[in-house]
Structure 1
């Protein structure tokens, strides 16, 4: 699937001036709203092969992508490919009165599930506001020497970041459910549980969960919002993620599945959440293996 964004504007400058401006990637990279840095600039004589590293920060985490000019047609078109992210095409059309129509297209191939995409890629998924702001700033920089859109907007992020995995356990469904309904089991030993308050019906059970990411202590409140004995339960975290723990008969035992879904509020949170998911994948697999071993020991399957 290709996600394409197209924006255009009319600039009061000759096409040669606009082309020269865009021939240096520093100019349009820093034209994006917000603060960014451009390093490793390498301008080639015929334009093709020109490259630069574009850097910015999302929630304090530095993000980097390198762009390289793959096609350059003087005074007509520049095609720039990101190392991670979109292909950006600048198309120029001369107008009467020494003006130029500039069209900017950002095209991104989206193939992998979002949970498999590293934070770098999320940073590179430019929003419509990003492209619109960059086009407006290119126009204003050429006409006035100043940005007209200096600050980045808080772009909303509507896609869901998902992690899920499962394991088959040689134990009865009811035995596995009785074990994993305890948050100290399904969240694993790296998460400290406190203030656990259970309800007879399961729904409304609450607790505090504390853990560390990159050495940073985090804490949130969980509440069981759905609870069906011997089947599944859903736990909603105040910080955002929704967890679903499910058991079902399978392969002569029980299939235990755990899934988490997070909808970040913006691109910065998306980058951080995706990074956390990627970093913790191995630990989550070990966590499932630990639950399997514990359940099978309890039932004497091992």
Structure 2
């Protein structure tokens, strides 16, 4: 299993950050590799199940995401099933009047040989992807917060 994690502080309340990411369509706005979110259905735990299209290293993939943990204003965890299986864990914490968002992706690339060749590239790619997604989230939420003020 490979784990990549990034955090960022955003100058908006925890509720604002959580509410924004609680809408799966907004992930496509801030995550560069996500191109489409479809078939969103609400689950009994407050989370969602959805189909998602994304690209990794230029290769188009489809995945099913199921939110296994939905703790309002604290945490959301998605189980990911596709050619690359894993988990996406988003955590939210109050930080000096704003929000610290931590995005952790745990995944497994199938095949031992393929994994040995691809893993170093995948780690760098996903670190960049997480960092860019969080920077986009920060920009989107802080800009919206400024225009509402």
Structure with greater strand percent: 2
1:193 aligns with 2:37: yes
Residue 190 of structure 1, CA deviation: 2.7
- Paired with 1:232 and 1:163, the residues of 2 have a C-alpha distance of 17
Shift of 1:195: 1.4
Q: Deviations over 1:72-118 (max 9, x none)?
A: xxxxxxxxxxxxxxxxxxxxxxxxxxxxxxxxxxxxxxxxxxxxxxx
- Unmatched runs of 5 consecutive residues or more in structure 2: none
Deviation, 1:213, is 2.8
Quick one: which of 168, 186, 189 aligns to 2:9? 168
* CA apart distance, 1:264: 4.5
Equivalent-residue separation in structure 1 for 2:26 and 2:120 (angstroms): 24
265 and 212 in structure 1: CA distance in 2 versus 1, 3 angstrom threshold: closer
Matched length = 142
Question: Where does the alignment leave 5 or more consecutive residues of structure 1 unmatched?
Answer: 1-159
Q: Which runs of 4+ in 1 moved over 6 A?
A: none
2:78 paired with 1:235: yes
Structure 1 residue 266: Cα displacement: 4.1
Task: After TM superposition, list the pairs within 5 Å mapping 1:79-228 onto structure 2.
Answer: 160-186=1-27, 188-191=31-34, 192-199=36-43, 201-203=45-47, 205-228=48-71
- TM-score normalized by the length of structure 1: 0.43
Q: Distance in 1 between matches of 2:110 and 2:128?
A: 26
Choose 1 or 2 for highest CA Rg. Answer: 1
Using the size of structure 2 for normalisation, the TM-score is 0.82
